[in-house]
Structure 1
C-alpha cells in the first residue's frame, strides 16, 4: 500500500500530543543518500533556474514520502545573506570586531537580501509538496550561530570581557533582525509549514559554549520572539540545539516557550533521559545516536532502535529519527535499516 503522508502527525507530536501514527523526523539528510535510494541524480538541480529547482523539490519530496515521512525538512540559511559573513566556520577576518564595524554594518538590508534569495527555493518547494505533506523549517541557523558568523566564536568570547556593551548590542541587533526575517517568511509561507524550526547549537559534550547566564540574558529572549511569532500563525516551534544544554533548558521551556526540542547524543544523555525530564512539557524529537547509526552492524542497530521504540514510542510528543542528522558518511544501508525498523514498529 502506498504511503500517505499526514503532516498532522508530526504537528501533534510538536504540540506534545500523541500522534495517530508515530512520525519520523530528520533535521537534515544528505542528498547522496536520496540519490542512491531513488537511483536518480538530482542534487545539482537546486542550483539551476526555477524550473530546475521545481524538479529538484519534486525528487526531494518524493524521497521523504517514499521513506515514510509526513513532512520534508528544509531551510534557507540566513547567514548566506550576511555581507562579510562566514566567521562561524571559516578562518576569515570577522565582519564585526569593533563598535565602528557594528554601526556601519548594513543590518537593515539583510531581511530583503534574505527573502530575495530565499523566495525561489520556498516557492519551488511549495509547488512540489504532495497532498498531506508540509515542511518543517524556516529561515536557517539560529541567533547564536549567526552572531558567531559575524564575530567569530573566540572574538565573541573576548568581546564579552573587553567590550560587554558591544557584545550585548550585537545580540540585540541580531534578535531584531531575526524578527524581521521570520515575519517576512511567515507572512508568505506559514501555510506550507507544519512546524517552525530554528537550529542553534548552544553546547558541546560537557557544557554550553557561553555561560548559562549569557544564554538566558541574550539568546533565550530572541527565541521567545520567534516562538511568539510562530504561535501567532498557529505553528508549533521546534528548537534543534546540540550539546549539553541542561543548564538552560528550564529557560528555553519556560521563557522561550518552545514546543519541542531536537538533538541528543548518548554520551551526553540517552534520549530516554530527555523524555523523562521534559516529556511532560515539550515534545522530544530524535532518539537514535548518530554515532551508533554510523558504526553498528545491522542486527545490533535494529536491536538498539527496537529497544528505543519500546522505551519511548508510546509516549506523547515523540518523533523518531537520529539525534542529529544523516550526513553523507553514514552508511546508506544503516539509514535504510533505521527506517525499516521504525516502519515495522509502526505497523504494530
Structure 2
C-alpha cells in the first residue's frame, strides 16, 4: 500500500534532495479549466484550491500576490495594478521584443509603480485559514529579469546593457525591491512550506543573455531570496525554462535546492540526476506537448520511465515540463496523476 497523501513532510524531504515514501507532485500552475474538469466542479472560492490539491495528490497549495507587473498593464491603468479571480488564474502574456515603455532613468523614477500595500491578500489569507495540518503553503512570484527586459523591450534592453547600464540597474532595483517585499510578506505565514521563484532566463538552446549579465543584475536577488528561505527553514525552488547548464552550478551556490521544470527539449533530466544526485531536487519534465497531444498510455509510460530513471532514489517531483495549460485534455492530466500514484511508491 502506498503512503498516504498529502503529507508536506514528504515534499519537503524531496525538495532538499532526499527520498520519501513516494514521489510527490509539483507544478508551477494548472489552468483553472483543467482543475475544474478534474475536480468535477468549478473552483469558485479560494478554499476550492485546497479541494483540488487534495484530490490531485498535491502536498501544498501555492499562493502568489495578485499583482500584475506587466508594463502594459501598469501603464494602461496608472495605479490600478490588482487583478485576481477566485481561482487565481490570469491571461496568457506574450513577449515584447521591440520598443518598451521606459527609455531613461527618469522614466523609471516617474513610472506609476505599485507599492506592496496595494496588494489585497484576501485569497492567500482564506487559503491559509482553511489549510489542513498535513499541507503547507508555497509562496511563489517572480520575473525580476523578465519584467526588466519587458519594460524596455528585448532589443532596447540588449542595447542598454552596454550603452545605459544605469537604466538596467534602476529597473532591477525597483522591481527586485518590490518583489522582495512581497516575498517577505508571504514568508511571514506560519504555514509557509517553501519559497518558489520563477523567472525564465534561457531558451532551449542556451541562456538569453551572458552569465556575466545574470551575475551582475539577477543573481544577487536570487541569493537574497534563497537567504530568506534559509532564514525560515524552508526549501528554495527556482523555475526557468530552457538550458541552464551554463549557470547551474552557480544556482546551487546561490542556495537553490530544487529546479523546475527541466524542459525536456533543453536538458537531459537523467544526465542531470547522475551529475547532481541529492544535491539538487529535479521537478517536472513531462513534456507539455505530450500532455496536450499524446495518448494517456504514452503519458503513463513517460511517467513510469521518469520515476524508474530519475525518481527512484528521491530528489524528484513529478510534473509537467512547464505548467498545465488550458489546452491539455483533462484525461491526459489525469493520466499523469494516476501514473504517478501507480508507480510513485518508493517504500
- Whether TM exceeds 0.5 here: the answer is yes
TM-score class, shorter-chain normalisation, is 0.7 to 0.9
How many aligned positions are there? 328
CA deviation profile, 1:86-130 (whole Å, cap 9, x unmatched)? 9974699744211211232355x52222xx33x112101112323
Offset of residue 307 of structure 1? 1.4
Q: Distance in 1 between matches of 2:170 and 2:138?
A: 31
3-state secondary structure, aligned to 2:285: strand
Q: Does the 8 Å CA contact 2:196/2:238 hold for their aligned counterparts?
A: yes
Match of 1:309 among 287, 292, 307: 307
Structure 2 equivalent of residue 99 of structure 1: 105
Encode CA deviations 1:231-289: one digit per residue, 9 max, x unaligned.
111111000111112111121111x2111111122221232122223334221111312
* 1:25-174 map, 5 Å: 25-42=26-43, 45=44, 56-80=45-69, 83-84=74-75, 89=95, 94-105=100-111, 110-113=115-118, 116-117=119-120, 119-138=121-140, 140-174=141-175
Correspondences of 1:262-273 after superposition (within 5 Å): 262-273=260-271
C-alpha contact 1:72 1:135 (8 A) present in aligned 2:
yes
Could you tell which deviates more after superposition, 60-69 or 97-106? 97-106
Q: Aligned in 2, Cα 1:145/1:258: closer, same or farther, shift over 3 Å?
A: same
Q: Which runs of 5+ in 1 are unaligned?
A: 46-55
Q: Using the TM superposition, give the Cα deviation of residue 165 of structure 1 relative to its aligned residue in structure 2, in angstroms.
A: 2.5
Q: Which residue of 1 aligns with 2:216?
A: 217
What is the Cα deviation at residue 4 of structure 1? 4.0
Q: Matches of 1:270 and 1:291 in 2, distance apart?
A: 17
- Residue of structure 2 equivalent to 1:285: 283
Q: Which moved more, 1:198-207 or 1:79-88?
A: 79-88
Hey, what does 1:179 align to over in structure 2? 180
Per-residue deviation, 1:78: 4.4
Question: How far apart, in 2, do the equivalents of 1:4 and 1:206 lie?
Answer: 37
Q: Distance in 2 between matches of 1:247 and 1:346?
A: 31
Q: Which of the two has greater helix per residue? A: 1
Cα RMSD for the two superposed structures: 2.5
Separation in 2, partners of 1:310, 1:8: 22
Q: What is the deviation of 1:81? A: 8.6
2-structure distance, mates of 1:201, 1:13: 23
CA distance in 1, matches of 2:185, 2:38: 35
Corresponding residue of 1:197: 196
Q: CA deviation at 1:328?
A: 0.8
Question: Aligned in 2, Cα 1:214/1:315: closer, same or farther, shift over 3 Å?
Answer: same
In 2, the alpha carbon distance for the partners of 1:346 and 1:205 equals 28
Using the alignment, how far apart are the partners of 1:7 and 1:237 within structure 2?
15
- 1:182-205 deviation line (CA, Å, top 9, x unaligned): 223322x2x222111011011111
Change (3 A) 1:58 1:182: closer
Instruction: Identify the residue that residue 48 of structure 1 maps to in structure 2.
Output: none
Q: With the length of structure 2 as denominator, give the TM-score of the two structures.
A: 0.86
- SS in structure 2 at match of 1:264: coil
User: Structure 1 pair 168/347, CA: closer, same or farther in 2 (3 Å)?
Assistant: closer
Which residue in the other structure is 1:11 paired with?
Answer: 12
* Contact kept in structure 2, 1:14 and 1:260, CA below 8 Å: yes
Give structure 2 stretches of 5+ with no counterpart.
82-92
- Quote how far apart the aligned CAs of 1:58 are: 2.0
| Matches of 1:131 and 1:198, distance apart in 2 | 24
1:67 and 1:339 in contact (8 A); partners too? yes
Show CA shifts across 1:34-72 (max 9, x none). 111222123xx4xxxxxxxxxx22221111101111112
Specify the alignment match of 1:53 in structure 2.
Answer: none
TM-score (norm 1): 0.86
CA distance in 1, matches of 2:162, 2:344: 52
Q: Conserved in 1, the CA contact under 8 Å of 2:5 and 2:58?
A: no
Shifted more, 125-134 versus 78-87: the winner is 78-87
State the 1:77 CA deviation: 4.9
